Protein backbone atom coordinates (compact mmCIF):
# COMPACT_ATOMS: atom_id res chain seq x y z
CA UNK A 1 0.00 0.00 0.00
CA UNK A 2 1.21 3.50 -0.81
CA UNK A 3 0.19 6.94 0.37
CA UNK A 4 0.14 10.32 -1.35
CA UNK A 5 2.30 12.51 0.89
CA UNK A 6 2.21 16.30 0.72
CA UNK A 7 4.85 16.78 3.39
CA UNK A 8 6.62 15.17 6.32
CA UNK A 9 8.25 17.32 8.97
CA UNK A 10 9.19 17.41 12.65
CA UNK A 11 7.92 20.17 14.91
CA UNK A 12 5.81 20.69 18.05
CA UNK A 13 2.14 19.76 18.08
CA UNK A 14 0.35 23.10 18.37
CA UNK A 15 -3.24 22.05 19.02
CA UNK A 16 -5.38 20.04 21.40
CA UNK A 17 -4.36 17.54 24.05
CA UNK A 18 -0.79 17.07 22.82
CA UNK A 19 0.06 20.78 22.53
CA UNK A 20 3.81 21.22 22.97
CA UNK A 21 4.70 17.57 22.29
CA UNK A 22 7.52 17.03 19.74
CA UNK A 23 5.82 15.42 16.75
CA UNK A 24 6.41 14.11 13.26
CA UNK A 25 3.65 15.31 10.95
CA UNK A 26 2.68 13.20 7.94
CA UNK A 27 0.37 15.28 5.76
CA UNK A 28 -1.65 13.33 3.18
CA UNK A 29 -2.99 14.78 -0.04
CA UNK A 30 -6.71 14.95 -0.79
CA UNK A 31 -9.83 16.35 0.92
CA UNK A 32 -13.34 16.93 -0.48
CA UNK A 33 -14.88 18.55 2.64
CA UNK A 34 -14.18 22.15 1.58
CA UNK A 35 -13.93 24.12 4.85
CA UNK A 36 -13.81 27.84 3.91
CA UNK A 37 -11.28 28.68 6.66
CA UNK A 38 -8.98 25.73 5.93
CA UNK A 39 -5.30 26.72 6.17
CA UNK A 40 -4.18 23.75 4.03
CA UNK A 41 -6.32 24.20 0.93
CA UNK A 42 -3.31 23.20 -1.16
CA UNK A 43 -3.93 19.62 0.02
CA UNK A 44 -7.48 19.38 -1.33
CA UNK A 45 -6.94 18.20 -4.91
CA UNK A 46 -5.07 15.12 -6.06
CA UNK A 47 -3.75 15.79 -9.55
CA UNK A 48 -1.43 13.44 -11.37
CA UNK A 49 0.57 16.34 -12.74
CA UNK A 50 1.40 17.34 -9.15
CA UNK A 51 3.17 14.05 -8.39
CA UNK A 52 6.87 14.57 -7.70
CA UNK A 53 9.77 12.57 -6.30
CA UNK A 54 10.19 12.17 -2.57
CA UNK A 55 13.32 14.33 -2.72
CA UNK A 56 11.41 17.14 -4.45
CA UNK A 57 8.52 16.87 -1.98
CA UNK A 58 10.87 17.06 0.99
CA UNK A 59 12.76 20.00 -0.49
CA UNK A 60 9.66 22.22 -0.69
CA UNK A 61 10.12 25.57 1.03
CA UNK A 62 6.48 26.64 0.81
CA UNK A 63 3.02 25.07 0.78
CA UNK A 64 2.19 23.54 -2.60
CA UNK A 65 -0.13 20.85 -3.97
CA UNK A 66 2.83 18.67 -4.99
CA UNK A 67 2.81 15.18 -3.50
CA UNK A 68 4.97 12.07 -3.55
CA UNK A 69 3.90 8.44 -3.40
CA UNK A 70 5.43 6.54 -0.49
CA UNK A 71 5.01 3.16 1.16
CA UNK A 72 5.05 2.56 4.91
CA UNK A 73 8.62 1.30 4.64
CA UNK A 74 9.60 4.41 2.67
CA UNK A 75 8.19 6.63 5.41
CA UNK A 76 10.02 4.80 8.20
CA UNK A 77 13.28 4.96 6.24
CA UNK A 78 12.85 8.68 5.60
CA UNK A 79 12.24 9.32 9.31
CA UNK A 80 15.47 7.48 10.12
CA UNK A 81 17.46 9.27 7.42
CA UNK A 82 16.26 12.66 8.63
CA UNK A 83 17.23 11.83 12.18
CA UNK A 84 13.82 12.75 13.56
CA UNK A 85 13.68 12.02 17.28
CA UNK A 86 10.00 12.62 18.07
CA UNK A 87 7.99 9.54 19.05
CA UNK A 88 4.58 11.11 18.47
CA UNK A 89 3.33 10.91 14.87
CA UNK A 90 0.43 13.03 13.66
CA UNK A 91 -1.31 11.84 10.50
CA UNK A 92 -3.17 14.75 9.02
CA UNK A 93 -4.16 16.26 5.69
CA UNK A 94 -6.13 16.92 3.73
CA UNK A 95 -8.43 14.25 5.07
CA UNK A 96 -6.27 11.33 6.18
CA UNK A 97 -9.22 9.00 6.80
CA UNK A 98 -9.64 8.74 3.04
CA UNK A 99 -6.78 6.24 3.31
CA UNK A 100 -6.53 2.82 4.94
CA UNK A 101 -3.99 3.66 7.65
CA UNK A 102 -3.78 0.30 9.41
CA UNK A 103 -0.57 -0.86 7.75
CA UNK A 104 1.17 2.49 8.22
CA UNK A 105 0.07 2.57 11.85
CA UNK A 106 1.31 -0.93 12.55
CA UNK A 107 4.69 -0.21 10.97
CA UNK A 108 5.16 3.03 12.92
CA UNK A 109 4.00 1.52 16.19
CA UNK A 110 6.53 -1.28 15.69
CA UNK A 111 9.16 1.50 15.75
CA UNK A 112 7.94 2.58 19.20
CA UNK A 113 5.88 5.50 17.99
CA UNK A 114 2.48 6.73 19.17
CA UNK A 115 -0.02 7.72 16.48
CA UNK A 116 -2.59 10.49 16.34
CA UNK A 117 -4.98 11.07 13.45
CA UNK A 118 -6.65 14.43 12.86
CA UNK A 119 -9.86 13.90 10.90
CA UNK A 120 -13.10 15.66 10.04
CA UNK A 121 -15.00 12.51 10.98
CA UNK A 122 -16.55 12.16 7.55
CA UNK A 123 -14.90 8.85 6.55
CA UNK A 124 -14.73 5.42 8.16
CA UNK A 125 -11.64 5.14 10.33
CA UNK A 126 -9.28 2.39 9.18
CA UNK A 127 -6.64 2.69 11.90
CA UNK A 128 -4.87 0.69 14.58
CA UNK A 129 -6.50 0.16 17.96
CA UNK A 130 -3.84 2.29 19.64
CA UNK A 131 -4.26 5.36 17.44
CA UNK A 132 -5.38 8.53 19.26
CA UNK A 133 -8.32 9.92 17.31
CA UNK A 134 -8.87 13.66 17.11
CA UNK A 135 -12.16 14.45 15.39
CA UNK A 136 -12.54 18.03 14.28
CA UNK A 137 -16.17 17.89 13.11
CA UNK A 138 -16.91 19.91 10.02
CA UNK A 139 -20.60 20.79 9.86
CA UNK A 140 -22.54 22.11 6.85
CA UNK A 141 -19.45 22.43 4.69
CA UNK A 142 -19.60 22.90 0.89
CA UNK A 143 -18.63 19.27 0.28
CA UNK A 144 -21.89 18.11 1.87
CA UNK A 145 -20.30 15.36 3.99
CA UNK A 146 -21.88 14.30 7.28
CA UNK A 147 -19.95 13.63 10.48
CA UNK A 148 -20.18 9.91 11.23
CA UNK A 149 -21.46 8.58 14.55
CA UNK A 150 -18.85 5.81 14.50
CA UNK A 151 -16.08 8.41 14.28
CA UNK A 152 -17.50 10.37 17.21
CA UNK A 153 -17.81 7.24 19.35
CA UNK A 154 -14.17 6.36 18.57
CA UNK A 155 -12.87 9.86 19.27
CA UNK A 156 -10.40 10.39 22.09
CA UNK A 157 -10.65 14.12 21.46
CA UNK A 158 -13.24 16.32 19.76
CA UNK A 159 -11.66 19.58 18.65
CA UNK A 160 -14.17 22.07 17.29
CA UNK A 161 -13.28 25.31 15.45
CA UNK A 162 -15.55 28.19 16.43
CA UNK A 163 -16.06 31.86 15.62
CA UNK A 164 -19.57 32.49 17.00
CA UNK A 165 -22.12 31.04 19.38
CA UNK A 166 -23.88 29.31 16.49
CA UNK A 167 -20.84 27.08 16.05
CA UNK A 168 -21.07 25.94 19.69
CA UNK A 169 -24.81 25.39 19.26
CA UNK A 170 -24.10 23.26 16.18
CA UNK A 171 -21.62 21.16 18.19
CA UNK A 172 -24.22 20.66 20.91
CA UNK A 173 -26.73 19.43 18.34
CA UNK A 174 -24.15 17.09 16.83
CA UNK A 175 -23.20 15.54 20.17
CA UNK A 176 -26.75 15.22 21.49
CA UNK A 177 -27.55 11.53 21.90
CA UNK A 178 -24.10 10.40 20.74
CA UNK A 179 -22.33 7.63 22.62
CA UNK A 180 -18.96 9.20 23.40
CA UNK A 181 -16.05 7.80 25.38
CA UNK A 182 -16.40 8.63 29.06
CA UNK A 183 -13.00 10.34 29.05
CA UNK A 184 -13.27 12.10 25.68
CA UNK A 185 -11.57 15.52 25.64
CA UNK A 186 -13.61 18.33 24.08
CA UNK A 187 -11.61 21.31 22.84
CA UNK A 188 -12.81 24.58 21.38
CA UNK A 189 -10.44 26.20 18.91
CA UNK A 190 -10.96 29.85 17.92
CA UNK A 191 -10.89 30.25 14.14
CA UNK A 192 -7.95 32.40 13.00
CA UNK A 193 -7.27 33.48 16.61
CA UNK A 194 -9.96 36.14 16.40
CA UNK A 195 -10.31 37.97 19.77
CA UNK A 196 -14.11 37.56 19.95
CA UNK A 197 -13.88 33.88 19.12
CA UNK A 198 -11.11 33.40 21.67
CA UNK A 199 -13.12 35.13 24.41
CA UNK A 200 -16.19 33.03 23.59
CA UNK A 201 -14.16 29.82 23.58
CA UNK A 202 -12.54 30.65 26.92
CA UNK A 203 -15.87 31.47 28.53
CA UNK A 204 -17.50 28.27 27.27
CA UNK A 205 -14.57 26.06 28.24
CA UNK A 206 -14.62 27.40 31.79
CA UNK A 207 -18.39 26.95 32.06
CA UNK A 208 -18.35 23.39 30.72
CA UNK A 209 -14.94 22.19 31.92
CA UNK A 210 -13.81 21.77 28.31
CA UNK A 211 -10.34 22.59 27.00
CA UNK A 212 -9.10 25.58 24.99
CA UNK A 213 -6.97 24.90 21.91
CA UNK A 214 -5.17 28.04 20.78
CA UNK A 215 -3.06 26.83 17.83
CA UNK A 216 0.22 27.49 19.62
CA UNK A 217 2.23 26.97 16.42
CA UNK A 218 0.67 30.08 14.88
CA UNK A 219 1.58 32.21 17.88
CA UNK A 220 5.15 30.85 17.72
CA UNK A 221 5.26 31.19 13.92
CA UNK A 222 6.38 27.62 13.41
CA UNK A 223 5.07 24.97 11.03
Is residue 69 included in any domain, yes or no? yes
Helix (H, G, I), strand (E, B) or coil at 128: coil
First-to-last alpha carbon distance for the chain, in angstroms, is 28
State how far the Cα of 201 lies from the Cα of 137, in Å rounded to an integer.
Answer: 16
CATH number of 15's domain: 3.20.20.70
State how far the Cα of 90 lies from the Cα of 168, in Å rounded to an integer.
Answer: 26
Is residue 93 included in any domain, yes or no? yes
Cβ 90 vs Cβ 108: under 8 Å: no
Q: What is the pTM of this model?
A: 0.93
Task: Tell me the helix, strand and coil percentages in the chain, rounded to 5.
Answer: 35, 25, 40
Provide the pairing of β-strand 2-12 with 68-71. antiparallel
What does the pLDDT read at residue 221?
Answer: 66
Q: Percent of the chain beyond pLDDT 90?
A: 83
- The answer on pLDDT for 219 being more than 60 is no
Cα four-point dihedral sign 113, 94, 154, 157: positive
Is residue 215 included in any domain, yes or no? no
What does the pLDDT read at residue 142?
Answer: 72
State how far the Cα of 44 lies from the Cα of 30, in Å rounded to an integer.
Answer: 5
Bind-site residues for S-adenosyl-L-methionine: 37-39, 94, 136-138
- The answer on pLDDT for 161 being more than 70 is yes
| H or E stretch covering 15 | none
- The answer on pLDDT for 207 being more than 80 is yes
Is residue 185 included in any domain, yes or no? no
Q: Indicate the number of domains in the chain.
A: 1
Query: Tens digit of pLDDT for each residue in 74-133?
Result: 999 999 999 999 999 999 999 999 999 999 999 999 999 999 999 999 999 999 999 999
Residue numbers of the domain that contains 129: 2-161
Bind-site residues for substrate: 12-14, 27, 92
What does the pLDDT read at residue 143?
Answer: 76
Task: Give the pLDDT band (50/70/90) at residue 135.
Answer: very high
Is residue 34 included in any domain, yes or no? yes
What does the pLDDT read at residue 223?
Answer: 62
Kindly state the average pLDDT of the residues 51-77: 97
Q: What is the pLDDT of the chain when averaged over all its residues?
A: 93
- Which range among 7-11, 118-122, 195-199 shows the weakest confidence by mean pLDDT? 195-199
Distances from the Cα of 210 to the Cα of 20, 170, 185, angstroms: 18, 16, 7
State how far the Cα of 113 lies from the Cα of 119, in Å rounded to an integer.
Answer: 19
Bind-site residues for Mg(2+): 40
What does the pLDDT read at residue 195?
Answer: 87
Task: Give the pLDDT band (50/70/90) at residue 201.
Answer: very high
Kindly state the average pLDDT of the residues 9-23: 94
Is residue 66 included in any domain, yes or no? yes
Bind-site residues: 12-14, 27, 31, 35, 37-40, 92, 94, 136-138
What does the pLDDT read at residue 95?
Answer: 96
Is residue 59 included in any domain, yes or no? yes
State the DSSP string of 21-38.
Answer: -EEEEEEEP---S--TT-
Bind-site residues for [4Fe-4S] cluster: 31, 35, 38
State how far the Cα of 105 lies from the Cα of 35, in Å rounded to an integer.
Answer: 27
Is residue 170 included in any domain, yes or no? no
Amino acid sequence: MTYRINEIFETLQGEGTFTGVPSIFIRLQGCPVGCPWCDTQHTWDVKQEDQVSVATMMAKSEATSEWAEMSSADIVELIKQRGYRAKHVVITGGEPAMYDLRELGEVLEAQGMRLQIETSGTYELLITAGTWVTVSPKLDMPGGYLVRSDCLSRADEIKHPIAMQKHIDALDRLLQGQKLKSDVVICLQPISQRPRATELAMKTCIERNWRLSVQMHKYLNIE
